[in-house]
Amino acid sequence: MPASSRPPGRDTRRALGARGEEAVARWYQDEGFEVLDRNWRRRDGELDLVVGRDRVVVFCEVKTRSGDRFGAPVEAITHEKRRRLRLLAARWLDESGAVVREVRFDIASVMARPGQDLEIEVLQGAF
């Protein structure tokens, strides 16, 4: 199989994901949010992006794909993943001591098609 037709390796996927997360962080900053945390990890999972504005904290799950062969990025967020993100968000809030008026869960889909600009779609209040 030629190298160009092989599925991307782990390092390539990791770099693609980091590129998508960076683009989404910039999108939130352009919307007036401050990035509070990135890739916050605990034994039971990770929060991709935590942003805040006016005592509103948003936990954003970022899914980046180079094509739609495996479906839209947003389709990767299962019921179990949503449950785990809610638990992690509660831990983050507890550990951060942040004074919060509202919590929101967003999903950002990033399409990174070769030779094209990134396409970012943020589904606010997704769950």
Q: pLDDT-derived band of residue 70, with 50, 70 and 90 as boundaries? A: confident
Tens-place pLDDT, residues 5-59: 445 566 688 898 999 999 999 999 999 999 999 999 999 999 999 999 999 999 9
For the chain, the domains span 3-123
Which strand (E) or helix (H) includes residue 57?
A: strand 56-65
- Tell me, what's the pLDDT at 1? 38
Percentages helix, strand, coil for the chain, rounded to the nearest 5? 35, 35, 30
Least Cα distance to 93 among 104, 82, 83 occurs for 104
- Tell me, what's the pLDDT at 76? 82
Instruction: Give the fold, CATH level 3, of 3-123.
Output: Trna Endonuclease; Chain: A, domain 1 (3.40.1350)
